[in-house]
Amino acid sequence: MISHSLPLQADTQGYWLIVNQQRLYWPEAQHGLHFSRMAELVPLFGEPEQSGALGEFEGKPVYYWVVNDQRDDEENWQNPRQLLRYGDAVFELAARAVQVALFMQTHRFCGQCGSAMHLVSWELAALCHRCGHRCYPRIAPCVLVAVVKGEQLLLARSSRHKAGFFSILAGFVESAETLEQAAIREVKEEVGIDIDQLEYVGSQPWPFPHSLMTGFIARYVGGDIRCQPNEIEEAHWFEPDALPEVPPVQTLSGQMIEQVKQQIAGNKKAT
Ligand SMILES: [Zn+2]
């Protein structure tokens, strides 16, 4: 549980995640979370404008520290995506640090009455003392859908991706929609295809800036591929042994593509 009740002291010891503009301080030579006393970091970053407890790593506390200044050491700051290689536990803490920093940056004033907001001490929330309005960090659920037709997998290239790079379909959940409804709607909108038999695979926090990815494998029911203009550049059915460049296995989409490959290979063996 994230708590903001502790004022951090110069001798506070733990792992530190220093955030600046959605990036983390992670110099090239650093190969894991940085453990130190707070006082050792002050010469580098000044007194923290915002800081607090974030969680635990290997039994020791983890703190975040927000640096708002423009930095002139660009090379020392990394996007959380680059920290996927240190494993799920480190990536999740990194994701939480940048999301907490963004939450505080975007909730300084009450959206209802315009007064200053204050962080409460018992949970991660911002509260307006004037009108009582309370806000929590924003989390945007997103569905990833791997559509399977017999022994083929549907992959699409979004207009944001370079030529040759494909992934499964993705889209944000809308208000008052279930994850399954969002998956069915997104696939229909993006490629004009109907699906059923949705099977939940798993989820992954994705701090760009505050998504929660949820994954489904689904069965093709009908329809021909018709790409949504301005969203999807191209989409095709691929055989598992002839896939184009796809996301790495550290990402949920990469894991799902791998899972579908194995499922199809297993089905082939069985028949
Ligand atoms: Zn208010």
CATH number at residue 83: 3.90.79.20
- Answer yes or no: is 135 within a domain: no
Are 70 and 147 in the same domain? no
The CA 134 to ligand 1 mean position distance, Å, reads 8
- Answer yes or no: is 57 within a domain: yes
- Answer yes or no: is 82 within a domain: yes
The CA 118 to ligand 1 mean position distance, Å, reads 10
> Whole domain around residue 44: which residue ranges?
13-106
Provide the token pair at 90. 């480190």
Looking at residue 7, its pLDDT comes to 65
Are 160 and 48 in the same domain? no
Residue that is last in its domain, among 91, 106, 121? 106
The CA 127 to ligand 1 mean position distance, Å, reads 8
According to the annotation, is 206 in a ligand binding site?
yes
Which residues have C-beta within 8 Å of that of residue 16, sequence separation ≥ 6?
A: 33, 34, 35, 36, 38, 41, 62, 63, 64, 65
Are 169 and 264 in the same domain? yes
According to the annotation, is 26 in a ligand binding site?
no
Are 145 and 255 in the same domain? yes
- Answer yes or no: is 18 within a domain: yes
Q: What Rg, from alpha-carbon coordinates, does the chain have?
A: 22
According to the annotation, is 51 in a ligand binding site?
no
Are 145 and 258 in the same domain? yes
The CA 136 to ligand 1 mean position distance, Å, reads 14
According to the annotation, is 227 in a ligand binding site?
no
Are 95 and 185 in the same domain? no
Are 170 and 243 in the same domain? yes
According to the annotation, is 248 in a ligand binding site?
no
Domains identified in the chain, total number: 2
The CA 100 to ligand 1 mean position distance, Å, reads 20
pLDDT in tens, the chain (271 residues): 343 445 678 888 999 999 999 999 999 888 889 999 999 999 999 888 788 888 999 999 999 999 988 888 989 999 988 898 898 899 999 999 999 999 988 999 999 999 999 888 778 899 999 999 999 999 999 999 999 999 999 999 999 899 999 999 999 999 999 999 999 999 999 999 999 999 999 999 998 889 999 999 999 999 999 999 999 999 999 999 999 999 999 999 999 999 999 999 888 888 7
